[in-house]
Amino acid sequence: MTANPTGFEPVFCTIVPPHVLDTLAQSQDPALATPARRSLERDAIERTRRHLTTVIGAPAVAPPKGAAADKPHRTVYDARHRTELPGRKVRSEGDKPGKDATVNRAYAGLGATFELFLKSYERNSIDGGGLPLNATVHYSEDYNNAFWNGEQMVFGDGDGEIFLDFTIPVDVIGHELTHGVTQYTANLTYFGQPGALNESMSDVFGAMIKQYTLGQTSTEADWLIGAGLLAPRVTGKALRSMKEPGTAYDDDVLGKDPQPADMDHYVRTGRDNGGVHINSGIPNRAFYLVAEALGGHSWERAGQIWYAVLTGGELAQDASFTDFAKLTVAAARQKFGDGEELKAVVDAWTTVKVPTNG
């Protein structure tokens, strides 16, 4: 394959972990197994397509000439249950809401993500340079996922049995777009601990985008990722819990949420790119603990520390949890001194049993 001239790693990131779809695919109920198998097949095709892309991470479309630096440039497409991307354009920047609620939610979620990064972190879109935000809805048939493919967002409608429309939770939209921010900054390798950090960064900013949209403080927030996504028949609250990893669902079909809450329960596996969606529970909980200890809005202090590490240039692509934890300590000290912020960061990593010194 031709060398990648941009330096971006070819990453295909989904919100639903493959182990969840694998479990559903083994169900004896065709209504559950068929959509899961079809979704896994689509993910495999898109993942392969991503790896075969020669120029990775280059913007598909440049910002429009004369575009304001403080405004998003959104376009929503409708795949009409097919798989060709991006599909038919159905809403452009500035268009009024239409009758399709899925299109409207995608458009609003793109805007909410743009706004948080701009107003809280002075970042102009996910690449920092005004990258247009494109999304495709109604992808494939009964598609049980949403993904970032390096250039745009894609949302399935869900099967209606286990998953509902993937535009419903705004944190899912924020999560996937944050994979783009990571792609353009630290570009964390999507395997093992750096892959779990990659996933965790998306959960962290997805949660903050949800809290920002709702005007919630850290104490008021539910710290759930994908709340409202699970169909009524599922025994569970969401895909993941940052506050209590391992408690998001416990269902006869889906099984039990496998996320660990500390390093004593770290899961060693070759599946899911070395457990990137599983072990992300550990840094997720660390961020929650920092935000909870500091109070107020999570994006104001805890988020500033995490953002500084993600974009500061010192986070290696193959960073371990310990590497990341040490950098958050340094960032807390640099931004806030030796006060409560530093203590909150050190205490959080100590609680999840990730060392920050030595």
In whole angstroms, what separates CA 274 from the centre of its chain?
17
pLDDT of residue 1: 26
pLDDT of residue 12: 86
The answer to whether 121 and 181 are in contact (CB under 8 A) is no
| Residue segments in the chain with a per-residue pLDDT below the cut of 50 | 1-8, 54-59, 358
Taking the C-alpha atoms of residue 189 and residue 191, their distance in angstroms, rounded to an integer, is: 6
pLDDT of residue 82: 97
Taking the C-alpha atoms of residue 213 and residue 116, their distance in angstroms, rounded to an integer, is: 9
Taking the C-alpha atoms of residue 53 and residue 60, their distance in angstroms, rounded to an integer, is: 12
Residue 154 has φ and ψ, to the nearest 5°, of -135, 135
Q: Is 19 a catalytic residue?
A: no
Looking at the DSSP bridge assignments, the partners of residue 74 are: 133
Q: Is 175 a catalytic residue?
A: no
Pick left, alpha or beta for residue 132 (phi over 0 → left; psi -120 to 50 → alpha; otherwise beta): beta
pLDDT of residue 11: 72
Selection from 218, 272, 213 nearest residue 242 by Cα: 218
pLDDT of residue 52: 67
pLDDT of residue 5: 33
Domains 13-184 and 192-351 share a fold: no
Q: Show the tokens assigned to 72.
A: 């998003």
In whole angstroms, what separates CA 74 from the centre of its chain?
19
Cis peptide before 86 (omega within 30 of 0): yes
Each domain of the chain, given as residue ranges in start order, spans 13-184, 192-351
Class of domain 13-184 as given by CATH? alpha beta
Contacts of 273 (CB under 8 A, 6+ apart): 190, 191, 192, 195
The answer to whether 111 and 213 are in contact (CB under 8 A) is no
Question: Under CATH, domain 192-351 is a member of which superfamily?
Answer: Neutral Protease Domain 2 (1.10.390.10)
Taking the C-alpha atoms of residue 1 and residue 53, their distance in angstroms, rounded to an integer, is: 9
Task: Write the DSSP assignment of 215-227 as a string of letters.
Answer: T--TTT---EEST
Helix (H/G/I), strand (E/B), else coil: 251: strand
* CB half-sphere exposure, 280, CA atoms < 13 A: 29
**How do beta strands 74-78 and 133-137 pair?**
parallel
* CB half-sphere exposure, 118, CA atoms < 13 A: 16
The answer to whether 145 and 44 are in contact (CB under 8 A) is no
Which entry of 9, 151, 161, 176 is annotated as an active-site residue? Answer: 176
If one counts every other C-beta atom within 10 angstroms of the C-beta of residue 313, the result is 8
pLDDT of residue 284: 98
Which entry of 73, 179, 277, 297 is annotated as an active-site residue? Answer: 277
End-to-end CA distance of the chain: 40
pLDDT of residue 62: 66
